[in-house]
Amino acid sequence: MHEPAIPSLTGADPEVARLVQAEARRQFEKVRLIASENYVSTAVLEATGSVLTNKYSEGYAGRRYYEGQQVVDPVEELAIGRAKALFGADHANVQPYSGSPANLAVYMAFLDPGDAVMGMALPAGGHLTHGWGVSATGKWFRSVQYGVRKETGVVDLDQVRDLARAERPKVIFCGGTAIPRTIDFPAFAEIANEVGAVLAADIAHIAGLIAGGAHPSPVGHAQVITTTTHKTLRGPRGAMILTDAAHAKAIDKAVFPGLQGGPHNHTTAAIAVALGEALDPSFGLYAHAVVQNARSLAAALLDRGFDLVSGGTDNHLILVDVTGKGVGGKPAAKALDRAGIEANYNTVPFDPRKPFDPSGVRLGTAAITTRGLTPDHMPQIAEWIERAILAAQDEQALDRIAAEVADLMAGYPMPGWA
């Protein structure tokens, strides 16, 4: 059953309650390998569902446009203080609703429409909001896109430098959504400094690894750092922006009143809880275990003949080109889902296929590490992945794998399920 219990919801709206219970059971029974997903603690769930959702709080602590902020202000200040302590940043804004609005605040703060912005191309592993054409960031700004080297699958820093010198962007984004290797923040900072650009590090995927000391930090290299608060950080669905002192005011004005109204106070409280959990020394053990599991799963997949972008991983994320298995990424992901293994189809660098039917599958180990799985389990998961992809049209075979998956996961507790 869902934990915390939901008796009031069950009584008031049994249809919704049934769906909530079904989702909790689904999460409990699956091997969840979507790189952007995790499990939050019961404490984070409780904060997210608290009466703080009732309160409007436009503005910032001590400077609100509504009265009755005697409790909300300390909640937000607590989240800010914990964020600064965890990452060693001068300033933190914990109000952005999600990662995309956090990135939009960077544009609002430092660019005018038509200015040049540089980011990693989406097919190479970047994010929509780093200037990709279908996003507002690619339509309203002059987008300069860099990629990866074909022979290695890692960022081509020579290309980044040459483009920056030629195009003189006002903002350079580093980071992305499908990057399996360590981001060289000092190298990006050197390029940004040379051309007078603001360096924005998007660490949405790796924030928890940075907090736990399992990935180098951009603090001291990037003037602005955006991140979601879920994924590897293991908090609620929200976002933060960290800055140095010189760029704090511009970011705060961009978030409010530039882009949004009142913050979601229940989310702010849950962010504070998650940051408090991340400040505990045990979180560092978790972050390193995530990376260890990812490397072990990557090795097991390589042993089974899978083609991994860049040949492996340095973080939580593995990008698999499944072309060699005779299938596309989309049918592979759908087969895995029916087999009890949750992943997402994804483009790979230089992908000859279309984005909605790409060649790759993206995997991540943050959620299964929260459940307590270890490197010893990774060969079995790799075996299930191969069996499921090769049996994509065999429903009975996929059902057998799903039963095996559920049997394994039944032995590992899940926050949110009792």
Q: What CATH number has the domain bearing residue 78?
A: 3.40.640.10
Catalytic pick from 56, 77, 84, 149? 56
* Same domain for 295 and 190: no
Catalytic pick from 137, 227, 228, 268? 228
66 noted as active-site residue: no
**Weakly modelled stretches of the chain, pLDDT under 50:** none
Domain limits for position 393: 286-409
**Is there a domain that residue 16 lies in?**
no
* Same domain for 163 and 73: yes
Backbone angles phi, psi at 120, to 5 degrees: -75, 135
Q: Which of 259, 278, 297 is the endpoint of a domain?
A: 278
* Same domain for 246 and 215: yes
168 noted as active-site residue: no
* Same domain for 270 and 129: yes
The pLDDT score that the predictor gives to residue 112 is 97
* Same domain for 82 and 54: yes
**Is there a domain that residue 200 lies in?**
yes
The model's pLDDT over 328-373, given as tens digits with 9 standing for 90+, comes to: 999 999 999 999 999 999 999 999 999 899 999 999 999 999 999 9
The pLDDT score that the predictor gives to residue 173 is 98
* Same domain for 224 and 365: no
The pLDDT score that the predictor gives to residue 54 is 98
Under a CB-based contact definition with an 8 Å cutoff, are residues 168 and 116 in contact? yes
231 noted as active-site residue: yes
The contacts of residue 400 (CB under 8 Å, 6+ apart) are: none
Catalytic pick from 58, 184, 383, 404? 58
Under a CB-based contact definition with an 8 Å cutoff, are residues 336 and 6 in contact? no
323 noted as active-site residue: no
Catalytic pick from 39, 82, 107, 202? 202
Instruction: Look at the chain and report how many structural domains it folds into.
Output: 2
The pLDDT score that the predictor gives to residue 98 is 97
Query: Model-level pTM greater than 0.95?
Result: yes
**CATH (domain of 308):** 3.90.1150.10
Measured CA to CA, the distance from residue 312 to residue 22 in angstroms comes to 35
Sign of the Cα pseudo-torsion (99, 311, 392, 31, in order): negative
Sign of the Cα pseudo-torsion (188, 190, 191, 196, in order): positive
**Is there a domain that residue 73 lies in?**
yes
* Same domain for 214 and 317: no
* Same domain for 363 and 290: yes
The pLDDT score that the predictor gives to residue 89 is 98
Under a CB-based contact definition with an 8 Å cutoff, are residues 199 and 242 in contact? no
* Same domain for 304 and 226: no
Amino acid sitting at position 193 = N
The model's pLDDT over 162-221, given as tens digits with 9 standing for 90+, comes to: 999 999 999 999 999 999 999 999 999 999 999 999 999 999 999 999 999 999 999 999
Q: Which long-range contacts (CB under 8 A, 24 or more apart) does 152-161 make?
A: 152/310, 152/311, 153/180, 153/181, 153/309, 153/310, 153/311, 153/349, 154/181, 154/310, 155/120, 155/179, 155/181, 155/183, 155/184, 157/184, 157/187, 157/188, 157/191, 160/118, 160/188, 160/191, 161/191, 161/194
Q: Which of 278, 304, 330 is the endpoint of a domain?
A: 278
The pLDDT score that the predictor gives to residue 174 is 98
The pLDDT score that the predictor gives to residue 270 is 98
**Is there a domain that residue 155 lies in?**
yes
**Is there a domain that residue 6 lies in?**
no
Query: Hey, what are 300's tokens?
Result: 């097991």
**Is there a domain that residue 219 lies in?**
yes
The pLDDT score that the predictor gives to residue 77 is 98
42 noted as active-site residue: no
The pLDDT score that the predictor gives to residue 157 is 97
* Same domain for 179 and 84: yes
56 noted as active-site residue: yes
Q: Which of 253, 278, 303 is the endpoint of a domain?
A: 278
Catalytic pick from 55, 237, 334, 338? 237
